Structure 1
Amino acid sequence: MTDLSADSRALSERDQAILAAVDAGFDRALDDLRALVRIPSVAWDDYDHAHVQASAEAVAALAEGTGVFERVSIERAPIGDTDELGQPAVLAVRPAKAGRPTILLYAHHDVQPWGDEALWRTPPFEPTEIDGRLYGRGASDDKAGVITHIAAIRALAEVADPEVGLALFIEGEEEHGSRSFQRFLALHADVLSADVIVVADSDNWSTEIPSLTVALRGNVACNVRLTTLEHASHSGMFGGAVPDAMLAFSRLAATLWNADGSVAVEGLTEAELEVPEQSEQHVRDEAGTLDGVDLIGSGPVLARMWAKPSITITGIDAPSVRDASNTILPTVRFRLSARIAPGQSAADAFAALQRHIAAHAPFGAHVEYDGVDLGDPFLVDTTGWGATEAKRAMADAWGAEPVEAGIGGSIPFIADLVAQFPQAQILVTGVEDPATMAHSPNESQHLGVLRKAIAAEALLLSRASERQE
């Protein structure tokens, strides 16, 4: 693996010392990442939450071990207006000195469920290194983000006493909807307030080119139930006259898209974003599109994924083929997942979807909703010093200029950060790359990307520590 300090002669002595400290501490950071990956910290219901607690304790121990923070604690906040507590998060704080700025570092230590183990090439919670990648659930999303923060702080502390203010917030339920996030921010606003917020939970352009994420689509997800009958009926006796719910679902679903696969819901908007050039074949290769299958939509391919809405039906409650019987189904329930373009609120988008469904539900089918989940999109303001310094640090650590990139996915809690801390500069960075396969079987972390992500953050923290506010 390339030594980060080898091509750093144009950097200051302090910067070179930071990069050398990252190199020297990388094996330790990798061992720490392996230890975290071994903990199956799934925050979803019906999973053992003792593992989430164990993961929080392990992260807290890492924060304590930096020797930097004045206080490290494991905290839980209520979910919404209820008395139910969310999953444990780690909070560590160190006030700024000598008028230096404060930086809030965010990541999450919970992970997605692992799914069918037969689809994994290695055991999901036994971190395994193959060809420069570490495989395991959470190896990238987002325990590598946690380690990026810890290792960057260690490197800075080895070179100088950090004067920058630091707040470390490692959430425990991001993959379960960040249900207590808003209350957590409100309860700890005094110590989480910062000049710059670094969210280490995104992607990079490639393993050689870093990204600063500047646009995120929002999301609207809901369960929709269509009902046409009081009870199931014999398909031979009544078929051809009585509308079944599956027919209603099929007819309704077809109205959601135009012939080219683009969204046909009136009221869902698009954003005006400049996007880098990218070939359709590159997207086809990354997504694993089968030969002969066309891409959908029109316009620049990255604009379709970053600046336009999309709709996916991610699940259907209906009898399986094995359990199919000769009956007319009275009701069908499906999960609708929409990604919405920057510039539109999730509430407005949900209202547009409801209007569309009401207008297109066929045969007078009754419509009900449940499981509604809304998350607003986000556009990063890159005019502040935080974005400037972050891009300079990335260029110095990676040896390549960063790309200002959009993400087709969503990080809804960023809107909560904006609401709670409207004056903060928010930077969305990450350790993933196009081959990471986060949320999928065989998730992995490219170790070269991890090393460079640590170095970039360490340089950012070091330079902020020299900045007078």
Structure 2
Amino acid sequence: MDVDEIVRKASDAMPELVRDLGHLVAIPSIAFPGYPAEPVERMGQVTLDLFQKAGFRDARLMEVPSGYPPIYAELPGPEGSPVVVLYAHYDVQPAPPEQGWSSDPWTPTRKADGRIYGRGAADDISGLIAHLGTMRVFDGQPPCTVKLILEGMEETESNLEAFVEAHPELFSCDLFIVCDMGNLRVGDPVFTTALRGDVACIVKVSTLQHPLHSGIFGGPTPDAMMALARLLATLHDETGDVAVEGVTTGSWAGEQFSEENLRASADVLDGVMLTGSGEVGDRLWAHPSINAIGVDMMNIAGSSNVLIPEASAKISMRIVPGADPVKELDALVTHLETHAPWGAKVEVTRTKEAPPFRCSTDGPGYAAARWALEQAFGKPVGEAGSGGSIPLLRTLQQAAPNAEFILWGAEDTALSRIHASDESVDPGEIERLVVAQALLLQRLTETPSA
């Protein structure tokens, strides 16, 4: 097929693809502990049926020791043709009422801006739909061997890394297409070529053996929550840059994201300054960042006039591409242990060491993908990073060390609001992605496999 025919077939497929997207958005497939299993299991079965009908006749739910199963399939192409793995995930984030949705998160809603709103519409149901549309463009018979892996627990404690390690032969390929990313802005194509890693720990600060009356003892007696607050404040300098000695930083040479775009995308309140120094792209993708993502102490409803004896915070630090997660976490732990005020006792528990990832951009698969993306969007392609971490990529790289990685998707940074309220996707991004993926698979058959 030529480019025009693929464009036409993708356009013709969109009405049904949009209906499929809406059907999937309506299933609250939250794989987090404490949520009902039935919707996740239903989502897995509905997704399985869709891909079986699209051509993956041997698609099946794989056995895993625990958790929700991934979907795996393999559709052989002509002998000697390249082997491509398509990745996406079928679980979604929770959508609690306190997030402040303007429409029901489990009712797909087409609004005046043309976008489709609902939890998972972008992350990562759009990836499922892009893969589904790619298969439909080829009427279920792609020009090369295509493997499919759809994860069921990406948003929580993933079981796919262990599955890949146990079955590396299933993931032998020339190219991974990971459809769980997106452009910075709708219509402006980029590859995601670098991901920050993520290390985390829990720091507990203790000052007293038990609570004390704040009126009788307040003043000279140290309060653990105030000590924790002062300790957390040492993690950044006055500009908001990370102030932990020994933590790696860098610069970003690809596409940039303007301060105006960032403020609008993040819904930063009027008058509130952005933190850190340097270009926005540097701060998002090449500088470390630190956040306290949870705090444990007395809640407001149950509070009384007492000094707090101990308080804890969970600290997440995003680390730059090329950094060693063990060394970065070592630096963070050392800082926490040595910067507590007033001699407060500090105990740090390490909880996570997820490595960063960088894509190779000099192989035949990347060249074919660049051409395909330019054809689909009609303009030159840039490169962006992502502050998010996907530890699975390192595991896949170990299973297929010679394979290339293409990271893209329909989750535009400017407006998709993944993991937040009013998550949405632009159907045009999905359509252009279907065109790009179809063109890429076809182009690979004209290029010697890696």
Query: What TM-score bracket applies, with the shorter chain setting the length?
Result: over 0.9
Instruction: Quote the offset at 1:418 in angstroms.
Output: 1.9
Match of 2:21 among 33, 56, 65: 33
Match of 1:464 among 429, 437, 444: 444
What is residue 3 of structure 1 aligned with on the other side?
Answer: none
Match of 1:223 among 196, 202, 223: 202
What is residue 49 of structure 2 aligned with on the other side?
Answer: 61
Q: Residues 27 and 284 from structure 1, CA distance in 2 versus in 1: closer, same or farther, beyond 3 angstroms? A: same
What is residue 307 of structure 2 aligned with on the other side?
Answer: 328
Deviates more, 1:115-124 or 1:209-218: 115-124
What is residue 336 of structure 2 aligned with on the other side?
Answer: 357
Match of 1:105 among 58, 72, 86: 86
- After superposition, the CA RMSD in angstroms is 1.7
The answer to whether the Cα contact below 8 Å between 1:74 and 1:89 also exists between their aligned partners in 2 is yes
Counterparts of 1:373 and 1:311 in 2: how far apart (Å)?
14
Identical residues among aligned pairs (%)? 38
Match of 1:450 among 398, 409, 430: 430
Match of 2:175 among 184, 187, 196: 196
Instruction: Quote the offset at 1:437 in angstroms.
Output: 0.7
Counterparts of 1:21 and 1:38 in 2: how far apart (Å)?
26
The code of the aligned residue for 2:284 comes to M
The SS at the match of 1:212 is strand
How far does the alpha carbon of each residue in 1:382-433 deviate from its partner, in whole angstroms, 9 at most, with x for none?
0011111111111111112221111122222222222222211011111111
Match of 2:59 among 72, 77, 84: 72
Counterparts of 1:419 and 1:227 in 2: how far apart (Å)?
42
- Output the TM-score relative to the length of structure 2: 0.95
Match of 2:386 among 407, 422, 425: 407
The code of the aligned residue for 2:131 comes to H
Instruction: Quote the offset at 1:278 in angstroms.
Output: 4.0
1:16 matched to 2:4? The reply is: yes
The SS at the match of 1:354 is helix
Match of 1:156 among 135, 138, 156: 138
1:123 matched to 2:110? The reply is: no
What is residue 71 of structure 2 aligned with on the other side?
Answer: 90
The answer for unaligned runs of 5 or more in structure 1 is 1-12, 79-84
How far does the alpha carbon of each residue in 1:430-454 deviate from its partner, in whole angstroms, 9 at most, with x for none?
1111101111111011111111111
The answer to whether the Cα contact below 8 Å between 1:275 and 1:303 also exists between their aligned partners in 2 is no
The answer to whether the Cα contact below 8 Å between 1:375 and 1:413 also exists between their aligned partners in 2 is no
Instruction: State the number of aligned residues.
Output: 447
Match of 1:145 among 122, 127, 141: 127
Counterparts of 1:70 and 1:128 in 2: how far apart (Å)?
32
The code of the aligned residue for 2:78 comes to K
- After TM superposition, the runs of 4+ consecutive aligned structure 1 residues lying more than 6 A away are none
Q: Residues 419 and 363 from structure 1, CA distance in 2 versus in 1: closer, same or farther, beyond 3 angstroms? A: farther
Counterparts of 2:63 and 2:102 in 1: how far apart (Å)?
35
Instruction: Quote the offset at 1:238 in angstroms.
Output: 2.1
The answer to whether the Cα contact below 8 Å between 1:389 and 1:460 also exists between their aligned partners in 2 is yes
The SS at the match of 1:356 is helix
Counterparts of 2:308 and 2:228 in 1: how far apart (Å)?
11
What is residue 147 of structure 2 aligned with on the other side?
Answer: 167
The answer for unaligned runs of 5 or more in structure 2 is none
The code of the aligned residue for 2:443 comes to R
How far does the alpha carbon of each residue in 1:240-295 deviate from its partner, in whole angstroms, 9 at most, with x for none?
23222112101211110001110000111013431334432332222222222222
The answer to whether the Cα contact below 8 Å between 2:75 and 2:145 also exists between their aligned partners in 1 is yes
Counterparts of 1:38 and 1:289 in 2: how far apart (Å)?
29
Counterparts of 2:186 and 2:404 in 1: how far apart (Å)?
26
Instruction: Quote the offset at 1:370 in angstroms.
Output: 4.4
Counterparts of 1:70 and 1:284 in 2: how far apart (Å)?
46
The code of the aligned residue for 1:413 comes to L
- Output the TM-score relative to the length of structure 1: 0.91
Counterparts of 1:251 and 1:422 in 2: how far apart (Å)?
45
Instruction: Quote the offset at 1:361 in angstroms.
Output: 2.1
